[in-house]
Every structure is written in structure tokens, then in C-alpha cells.
């Protein structure tokens, strides 16, 4: 591999390098990280040091257990804010009475959270590494919409006005300003997102609880606004509740709230008993808007519930029906399909559907072309890919447990699987497979042609060889701190770094030593491929990295007819490593 050692890296002693090497958490810590968002830690459990990240002083890791408990506590307060904000708009008495101390206490907790946010490390999206610099953290927070909205949703405007003026404002402006607290609902959404990805919780029941919460919040908000419309009409009796309860403004708050919730949920479900109905023009306009909203909400609820039920039924169908089905086309299509990205039960469902189709047509062989079969099967499989992440993780955990794999291997398997699903939309191999080879080659040339030309091994070679190489490469993503190549393994591929960076490591007497690093357009693994010897180095990613992989076998086949290019490649290799050797001699 082309080792380029910077002056800083060359000055590192073995002890200093050892402190920079990354270790893994125990299984207990992995469980502790299970609810962290997948966008936060691409490599499950990857940390620096012995037990925790060596962050700067007074910096909090976003997945620290205590900080996560704090965030969970704030979610409980968010639930209260989601209930109280519309409620206090409709029933002004409680806003300045019994609920005022509670509101001030809740606002105080969120003010503390704003202060803590200036000390919480954040994830750099370009490197997928935690940033613990105080200035960068503050700049990241202040320059985004989060900061002004967090401030606006936390300030007790009515109490501040009372302290400044000494009087109580009786207008509606503060009631609507209190609705800014609904900005905090984003925390609840993040919580459900984490729980949906947490394999310790049932995806079905987590999603089901989320749908219930969405429905209850919609009904509660609509009911409160119904009551607000009634209390602000010129003629109280000429309202939806005034016809049934003439003196509703002087009755119990909970009686008005019960009526409001009843009419809101009856309208949402379109039951329409007729006992309550819109009377004045304002109520009719709001009813129109509410019913339009209900159309979208109902579609959202039905669509999500359908997906949940279908996902459960697909598994049952696959396990039961597959035992009794025969697949005459399996031997025809199997060599031409790549089902590796899909779990077993999804493959079974696809074949089951095709078998039933064949039986319906009363033919032993499917009357469809192989290409059409491929397109439809992949369409079937991808309709359930949204659930595949959790299933794949469960399968990895079960496999690792049954085979008693070490924690480090299990974590690398989890990291690879997670990143694979996150980058599936970027690669879309099954889409490219359906295209003619000329188009695939043009796409690869557009994406990676410049990278291959910049690689030191291929400088000066013919354009024909570059085109052949690019047409056969495979692009892959690797999370931080994952081994791409192991020392002494058989040389099957070599890699060119597209983005990110990798470290070159070697082992002497069981001690891991840092040699060099490689960045964009630099190569790794080419020594073993060129000389057909075991790989001399371990190659490990420093951060989220995209690489292109060239097969040893395909590389030899393409270079053999190009004798001149082969000589150029050897010359480039000798020149590069001679320069490195000269630098070492001059240094010594």
C-alpha cells in the first residue's frame, strides 16, 4: 500500500499511537446504546479509550446514560406541554391559576436543557465523528433554528409581562404565544424514532402507540379550539355548545372539556350523531378545515396500520405456505438473481407469489421473461425493506449468540448491516443490473472515473484500461473504525478511497502499530494483489468512508492484454515506494 506518513504521524511514539487506537464496549454498554439514533453512531459501540470517549472537560457525550435519562424526563414534560398549551388557550382561568406554577417549573427544566445543549457534543455529518470543541458546539446550536425556537418556547411571556408592567394582560396574545411550546414535540418524534430502531422493543406496538398519540393530540387540539370558538363568539347561545348548555361559561371547566372532546372525536370519526353541530359561520369554516385535515390523518392512520398488519401477515404466509409450494422456475432464475440484500422470509414470499401465479395459469413454467420476473420480484421485496433493518439486526444477534462470537465481531456485523441499509438508496445495485452494460459503464465512469485516474498506480495508463477498470468496480461504504483488510489475509481485492480516510496498521509480536493513513484517491491492498502475497497491512477506516473495490481476478484479466499499461503500473509502483524509502533514509 502506498504509505504517506505526515510529519505529525511520523513523530507519534508507539505509546501515543496506542492511546489513539479505538476499542469496543462490553455487551452491557452495547445494550445501553441500543436506543441511540442510528444517525448518531454508525459503528455500534465504537469508542475511544477504555470505557468512555476522552471528550474535553465539561463536554457531555450525547449517548451518555445520565444525559439520556435527562432527555427521557424531558419527553414526559413535553407530553404535559402538548396537553396544557391548547387547554390553556381554551380555558384561560387555568392558565393564570392552578397550572401557572406547573408551567413555570416545566419552563425552568427546559431552560436548563438549553444551557446543557452548549456542552453536548454533536455529530459531524461529513466525518461521522463527535465534535467536542466548545466554540463549534455553540456555533452549531446558535446558528440553527433550534436555538431561537427553544428560547421562544421556554420564555413565560405572561409572567414576564406581569413583572414588567405590574398588571395582568387579559388578551389572547399570550394564549397563542404559549402554543410555541408545541415546538418541543420534536423530542417525542425523536423518541419514537429511536424506539422503532431499538430491537428490544416490538416495532408493531411502538408504532401503534405512536399512532394513538397522534390521534389523541389531534382530537385534544381540535376540542380545545372548538371551545375557544364558542367562548369568543358575540352571542354565547349561538354556538355549538351554547345550544345544549346555555350557561356553559359559568359551568365546570371539565364539563366544557368533556363536551369539546366528545364533539371533536365524533367529527374525526365522521359518526355525526347530530346532537352537536356547527351553528355560526366561524364554526362552520373550522369544521371544513378540520374535516379536510381528517382526510389526511385517516389516510395516515390506515396506511400505517395496513403496513403493520401486512408485515405481520407476510411472515405468517411465508412460513406456512412455503412448505407446500414447488417452484419450477427457481432453477431458471436463481443464477440470474442476486437476493443477498434480502432476508429469507421475503425471498420465500416472492417465490410463493410466483408459484400461485403459475398455478393460476395452469402451466408448469412461468410464462414471463426472466427480466420481467426479476423486476417484479425485486419490487415485491423492496415493499417490505423498511422493516428489514430490525429483522436483519435480530438475525445477527441470534447468529452471534448461537455461535458465541466475540463482542467485537458482533459489533462490526451490526455496524456493517446498519450502514448497508442507510446507503441502499445510494447504491441501488438491482436497478443498475437491469441496465445495459454500456449504460452501467457510463454511470461508473461519471462517478468514479476521475478517482481511478488520480490513483498513483494508474497514472499514465491508457484510457481503454481505465474504462475497463471502472466498469468492473464496486462501490462500498464503511463506518468508522472498521477493518477493510486484515493483515496476512488472502489478496482478493484492492481498494481506492473515494471519500473519508483509512489507517494502515501492522502487528509486531501482537502489538498494533500505526504506519500511515490514506485519503481520497489513495490506495490500499494493492501490494498483496500485485505480488500475489498475503496482505502486509491491516486497513481500518478513520471515519465514514466510501471506497471502490477492484477484484484481483478481474484486474489480472484486464491488465494481461495491455502489456504497456502493465509496465506503467509496475513503474508507478516502484517509483512511489522508492520515494517513500528515500524519505525514510533521509529521516534516519
318 in a structural domain: no
Give helix then strand counts, H and E, for the chain: 26, 12
Given 366, 394, 425, the domain boundary residue is 425
Please report the DSSP string for 477-516 in residue order: EE-TT-EEE-TT----EEEEEEES-EEEEEEETTEEEEEE
pLDDT of 315 reads: 57
Whether 110 is covered by a domain: the verdict is yes
pLDDT at 83: 94
User: What's the rounded Cα separation, in Å, for the pair 130 and 47?
Assistant: 10
The gap from C-alpha 409 to its chain's centroid, in whole angstroms, comes to: 22
pLDDT number for residue 514: 87
One domain, residues 161 and 39 = yes
Q: Are residues 556 and 420 in the same domain?
A: no
pLDDT of the residue at 138: 93
In terms of residues, how long is the chain? 588
Question: C-alpha grid cell for residue 302?
Answer: 390506515
Provide the pLDDT for residue 81. Answer: 94
Domain membership of residue 244 (yes or no) is: no
Distance CA(78)–CA(72), nearest Å, equals 10
Enter the DSSP assignment of 524: E
Q: Do 73 and 182 sit in the same domain of this protein?
A: yes
Residue 575's contacts (CB-CB under 8 Å, 6 or more residues apart) are none
The verdict on 505 and 572 lying in the same domain is yes
Which residues make Cβ contacts (< 8 Å) with residue 24, sequence separation at least 6? 45, 46, 47, 407, 408, 411
Domains identified in the chain, total number: 3
- Please identify, among 199, 216, 233, the residue that sits at the C-terminal boundary of a domain: 199
Residues 410 and 472 in one domain: no
CA separation for the pair 9, 3 (Å, rounded) = 11
Q: Are 240 and 230 in contact (CB under 8 A)?
A: yes
* 528: three-class secondary structure by DSSP: helix
CA distance 30 to 50: 14
Q: What is the DSSP string of 89-112?
A: HH-HHHHTTTTHHHHHHHHHHHHH
Asked whether residue 214 is assigned to any structural domain, the reply reads no
Provide the pLDDT for residue 48: 31
Contact 45, 27 (CB under 8 A): no
Q: Is residue 405 domain-shared with residue 538, that is, in the same domain?
A: no
Residue 317 falls inside a structural domain: no
DSSP symbol at 455: S
Residues 342 and 379 placed together within one structural domain of the fold: yes
Mark whether 59 and 102 lie in a shared domain.
Answer: yes
From 425, 457, 480, the end of a domain falls on: 425
Task: Tell whether 210 is covered by a domain.
Answer: no
Task: Find the Cα–Cα–Cα–Cα dihedral 400, 403, 408, 413, rounded to 10°.
Answer: -40
Nearest by Cα to 313 from 390, 253, 230, 384: 384
18 domain residue, yes or no:
no
> What DSSP element (H or E) covers 229?
helix 203-231
Task: Kindly tell me the sign of the dihedral angle through the C-alpha atoms of 359, 364, 365, 368.
Answer: negative
355's CB contacts (< 8 A; 6+ apart) are 325, 326, 327, 328
Show contacts of 64-71: CB within 8 Å, 24+ apart: 65/32, 67/116, 67/120, 68/35, 68/36, 70/113, 70/116, 71/187, 71/191
Query: What CA–CA distance (Å, rounded) separates 2 from 550?
Result: 16
Query: Closest Cα to residue 200, out of 442, 10, 397?
Result: 397
Instruction: Give the range of the structural domain holding residue 483, as residue numbers without chain letter.
Output: 448-587
Q: Which residue positions in the chain have pLDDT lower than 50?
A: 1-52, 319, 321-372, 374-386, 585-586
Based on the domain organization, do 391 and 480 belong to the same domain?
Answer: no
Asked whether residue 362 falls in the same domain as residue 506, the answer is no
261 in any annotated domain: no
Report helix, strand or coil for 88.
helix
Mark whether 111 and 145 lie in a shared domain.
yes
Domain identity same for 88 and 145: yes
Instruction: Name the phi and psi angles at 287, rounded to 5.
Output: -60, -40
Q: What is the pLDDT of residue 49?
A: 34
Amino acid at each position: 500500500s502506498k504509505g504517506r506518513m505526515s510529519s505529525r504521524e511520523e513523530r507519534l511514539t508507539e505509546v501515543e499511537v496506542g492511546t489513539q487506537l479505538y476499542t469496543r464496549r462490553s455487551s452491557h454498554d452495547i445494550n445501553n446504546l441500543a436506543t441511540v439514533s442510528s444517525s448518531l453512531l454508525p459503528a455500534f459501540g465504537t469508542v475511544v479509550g477504555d470505557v468512555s470517549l476522552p471528550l474535553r472537560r465539561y463536554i457531555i457525550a450525547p449517548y451518555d446514560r445520565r444525559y439520556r435519562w435527562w432527555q427521557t424526563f424531558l419527553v414526559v414534560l413535553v407530553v404535559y406541554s402538548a396537553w396544557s398549551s391548547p387547554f390553556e388557550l381554551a380555558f384561560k382561568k387555568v392558565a393564570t391559576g392552578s397550572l401557572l406554577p406547573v408551567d413555570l417549573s416545566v419552563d425552568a427544566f427546559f431552560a436548563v436543557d438549553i444551557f446543557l445543549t452548549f456542552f453536548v457534543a454533536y455529530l459531524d455529518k461529513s466525518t461521522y465523528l463527535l465534535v467536542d470543541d466548545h466554540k463549534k458546539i455553540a456555533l452549531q446550536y446558535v446558528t440553527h433554528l433550534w436555538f431561537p425556537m427553544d428560547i421562544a418556547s421556554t420564555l413565560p411571556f405572561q409572567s414576564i409581562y406581569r413583572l414588567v408592567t405590574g398588571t395582568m394582560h387579559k388578551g389572547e396574545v399570550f394564549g397563542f404565544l404559549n402554543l410555541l411550546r408545541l415546538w418541543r414535540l420534536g423530542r417525542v418524534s425523536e423518541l419514537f424514532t429511536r424506539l422503532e430502531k431499538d430491537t428490544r422493543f416490538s416495532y408493531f406496538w411502538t408504532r401503534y402507540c405512536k399512532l394513538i398519540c397522534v390521534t389523541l393530540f389531534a382530537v385534544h387540539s381540535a376540542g380545545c379550539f372548538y371551545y375557544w370558538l364558542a367562548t369568543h363568539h358575540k352571542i354565547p347561545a349561538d354556538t355549538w355548545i351554547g345550544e345544549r348548555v346555555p350557561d356553559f361559561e359559568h359551568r365546570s371547566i371539565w364539563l366544557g372539556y368533556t363536551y369539546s372532546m366528545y364533539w371533536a372525536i365524533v367529527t374525526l370519526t365522521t359518526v355525526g350523531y347530530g346532537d352537536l353541530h356547527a351553528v355560526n359561520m366561524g364554526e362552520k369554516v373550522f369544521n371544513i378545515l378540520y374535516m379536510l385535515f381528517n382526510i389526511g390523518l385517516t389516510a395516515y392512520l390506515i396506511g400505517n396500520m395496513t403496513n403493520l398488519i401486512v408485515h405481520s401477515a407476510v411472515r405468517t404466509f411465508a412460513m406456512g405456505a412455503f412448505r407446500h409450494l414447488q417452484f419450477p422456475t427457481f432453477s431458471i432464475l436463481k443464477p440470474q438473481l442476486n437476493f443477498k440484500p434480502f432476508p429469507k422470509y421475503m425471498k420465500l414470499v416472492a417465490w410463493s407469489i410466483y408459484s400461485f401465479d403459475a398455478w393460476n395459469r395452469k402451466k408448469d413454467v412461468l410464462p414471463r421473461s426472466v427480466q420481467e420476473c426479476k423486476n417484479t420480484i425485486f419490487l415485491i421485496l423492496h415493499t417490505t425493506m423498511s422493516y428489514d433493518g430490525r429483522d436483519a439486526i435480530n438475525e445477527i444477534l441470534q447468529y452471534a449468540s448461537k455461535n458465541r462470537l466475540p463482542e467485537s465481531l458482533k459489533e462490526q456485523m451490526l455496524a456493517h448491516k446498519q450502514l448497508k441499509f442507510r446507503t441502499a438508496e445510494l447504491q441501488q445495485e438491482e436497478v443498475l443490473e437491469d441496465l445495459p452494460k454500456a449504460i452501467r459503464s457510463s454511470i461508473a465512469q461519471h462517478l468514479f472515473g476521475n478517482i481511478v485516474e488520480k490513483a498513483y498506480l494508474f497514472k499514465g495508463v491508457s484510457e481503454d484500461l481505465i474504462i475497463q477498470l471502472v466498469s468492473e468496480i464496486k462501490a462500498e461504504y464503511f463506518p468508522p473504525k472498521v477493518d477493510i483488510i486484515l493483515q496476512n489475509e488472502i489478496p482478493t481485492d484492492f481498494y481506492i478511497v473515494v471519500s473519508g480516510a483509512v489507517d494502515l496498521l501492522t502487528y509486531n509480536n501482537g502489538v498494533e502499530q500505526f504506519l500511515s493513513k490514506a485519503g481520497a484517491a489513495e490506495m490500499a491492498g494493492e501490494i498483496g494483489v500485485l505480488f500475489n502475497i498475503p496482505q502486509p497491512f491491516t486497513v481500518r477506516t478513520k471515519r465514514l468512508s466510501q471506497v471502490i473495490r477492484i477484484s484481483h481476478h478481474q484486474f489480472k484479466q484486464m491488465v494481461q492484454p495491455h502489456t504497456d499499461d502493465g509496465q506503467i503500473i509496475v513503474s508507478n509502483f516502484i517509483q512511489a515506494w522508492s520515494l517513500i524509502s528515500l524519505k525514510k533514509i533521509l529521516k534516519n
